[in-house]
Amino acid sequence: AIIENFGAQIQHWQKASSKAIPYLKTAFDIGEESGDMLYASYAFINIIGISISYGRQLDSVFKLTNQFLSFVKNKKVVFAELITSYYFIFLKLLMSKNQDIESSDKYLDSFKDLNDSNLLSFYYVLTIMPLYMLGFNEKALSIARKSEEIIEYSTGMFYVPEHYFYYSLIISVLYN
């Protein structure tokens, strides 16, 4: 748990995000070997998120995400399957420039059902990114405002700066 928390919440504030990947891989291996699928899943989910953040090729992140999705389905780690499935949709949107943004909406209730403001914040941040990139700025602003209401529950997470970055970009585009 300590290695996963360091890799996911501390390392990226000291060095480049990509430097957290070895810590997270170690945390995943330890979690899997010990049977602690919760922390193994947290570690791998953060590997995916950080890989996107530091600019790893989307096709390789997509392949990695697909492999992990099979793993969590097999191990029946429900929350990790939900998050990884959403990453999968997110990556498909970015890679294909697919205008089917509505496909992300079906996940909102599932994230709300988890009753975890941190994970809901994650959902919102991951949603505003492709909305902005594909030009759906009004919808992105609406979701960014919802994210702003709960982002405090994600203190220290690697996606908090992304929230503020995309929120400011969306505001700049709409009010320029």
What is the C-alpha to C-alpha distance for residues 72 and 79, in angstroms, rounded to an integer? 9
- For position 2, what pLDDT does the model report? 61
**Confidence bin at 5 (pLDDT 50/70/90):** low
- For position 100, what pLDDT does the model report? 63
C-alpha 16, offset from chain centre: 17
User: pLDDT of 45-89, one tens digit each?
Assistant: 888 988 887 788 989 999 999 999 998 999 998 888 888 888 888
Which is more confident, 3 or 146? 146
**Confidence bin at 38 (pLDDT 50/70/90):** confident
Q: At what angle do helices 58-75 and 78-96 cross, to 10 degrees?
A: 160
**Confidence bin at 110 (pLDDT 50/70/90):** confident
127 pLDDT higher than 60: yes
Q: Which residues of 105-127 are buried (b: 16+ CB within 10 A; e: fewer)?
A: eebbebbeeeeeeebbbbbbbbb
Going from the C-alpha of 81 to that of each of 45, 69, 118, 127, the distances in angstroms are 10, 6, 16, 17
